[in-house]
Amino acid sequence: MADKHRTDRREILTMALVSYERSILSYDGRRYKPADEFELALNEIVERALAEEAAQPPGRKTDKRVKSASVLKNVQQVVRNSNVLIAALQEALDYDPSRQHNQRPPLLWRDDQKYLDDVKKLLNELRQLTALLETTKPRKAEAARTASRLSKHFDKFLQSYAGAMGKVAAGLTSAAIVAVLYHAGLGKEVIDSVWGRLR
């Protein structure tokens, strides 16, 4: 977090946490309303990630040789964070500016059909991943392979659209994506590539 090359990332995380803190406080009897449920859920993910990082023993270093994993670390967290992304992506797809023009557009909505088509593909892949894990006997090996493929699509998606999404929207989305990939056991180089799209 203190790395000077990660200033943009730190700003995004700070803004996310400030937004989350506002959402649980009141001012003159009125509660702050975050942009949408996606903003709140992602802020919680970021807060948990920072708490986990702070809890690591001093001097502990990440092994740079970590490979793209084939073993899921935490099935419940993969499903939970995937469902946050699914809800946000579906909200963007469902928004109709001609019918809902008086409402604030969802955080991830863009008036760009190619973008929306790519969102739909990501949505379908995330649903595939959760379907493999939400069974009585989760198909972990197949889910891990699906997560590995999905990581490439996430990376390409952010490469194409992070600039158009805006720093905060891209940062919050990346935080959720990183949470999915981390708990799915993907290696450090994969996660760093996703974060790198915010620079």
Per-residue pLDDT of 20-48, as tens digits, reads: 555 544 444 555 555 666 666 666 665 66
Per-residue pLDDT of 146-193, as tens digits, reads: 999 999 999 999 999 988 888 778 888 888 898 899 888 888 888 888
Per-residue pLDDT of 97-109, as tens digits, reads: 888 667 778 888 8
pTM greater than 0.85 (yes/no): no
SS3 labels along the chain: CCCHHHHHHHHHHHHHHHHHHHHCCEECCEECCCCCHHHHHHHHHHHHHHHHHHHCCCCCCCCCCCCCCCCCCCHHHHHHHHHHHHHHHHHHHHCCCCCCCCCCCCCCCCCCHHHHHHHHHHHHHHHHHHHHHCCCCCCHHHHHHHHHHHHHHHHHHHHHHHHHHCHHHHHHHHHHHHHHHHHCCCCHHHHHHHHHCCC
